[in-house]
Amino acid sequence: MTEAPRLLDSAVQLQSVTKVYGRGGGSVTALRDVSVAFARGTFTAVMGASGSGKSTLMHCAAGLDRPTKGSVLLGDVDLSTLKETALTKLRRERVGFVFQAFNLLPALTVMQNITLPLRLAGAPIDRSWAQQVLAGVGLADKARRRPAQLSGGQQQRVAIARALVSRPQLIVADEPTGALDSRTGKEILSLLRRSVDESGQTVLMVTHDPMAASYADQVVFLSDGQLAGSMPRTDPTQIAAAMTHLGA
């Protein structure tokens, strides 16, 4: 495991995080004493078998779920100190979400969809910045379209624009290419890669796909709710081999 970045260099840090669902004999421990930090301006892929805890790690990192034990720091904020209303506000302001299912509202235009988090947060909407973000994801001419008028890849680009428009501290992506064909998936991954290289964003992506993980600066592996190693950016073959050894 690579040395964790210093706290001030971290976009998000998990400290001795354990997450247990349920109680008594029916309880399930999804994460076991996990400590890991994700440096600002980096792209990290989280991999592991089904049930390894990767989605729980992402949910805890993004403030969607609270640890049973341990703490999560988003920048300099300890999420465990926040009440639910304050936590919701922090997520809207500092975290961008990209999901496999796109989660766009069909009745809204592309521009309305990407600015929705700002409206929900009561934040001012910078139209020129929103248009710049749309241009950055290759949809400058689609602002007035509705999701049904777009391809799957274009809808995912809208979802990425929505995640970027609030200039978040962290972008979490849950299998963002899972519903796309391979060519479109590569375009989406290249877009996430550019958001790190050109805009200094921090991306945390859960994936089962070694090809997708090869776009990341590092790959973190989980097994049975525990950290099982990491590797710097490499090709899909080596990542797949590491996953095979993880299973063994």
**Residue 68 reports pLDDT greater than 60:** yes
State residue 8's pLDDT score.
52
DSSP one-letter code for 2 = P
Question: pLDDT for 13-31, tens place per residue?
Answer: 999 999 999 988 889 999 9
**Residue 234 reports pLDDT greater than 70:** yes
* 8 Å CB contact between 12 and 204: yes
Share of the chain above pLDDT 70, in %: 96
For the chain, which domains are there?
39-63+83-247 (3.40.50.300)
* 8 Å CB contact between 227 and 234: no
Question: pLDDT for 159-191, tens place per residue?
Answer: 999 998 888 889 999 999 888 889 899 999 999
CA gap 125, 15 in Å, rounded: 35
The secondary structure element, H or E, covering residue 24 is none
Share of the chain above pLDDT 90, in %: 67
CA gap 21, 246 in Å, rounded: 24
Question: pLDDT for 95-116, tens place per residue?
Answer: 999 988 888 999 999 999 999 9
**Residue 226 reports pLDDT greater than 70:** yes
What pTM did the predictor assign?
0.89
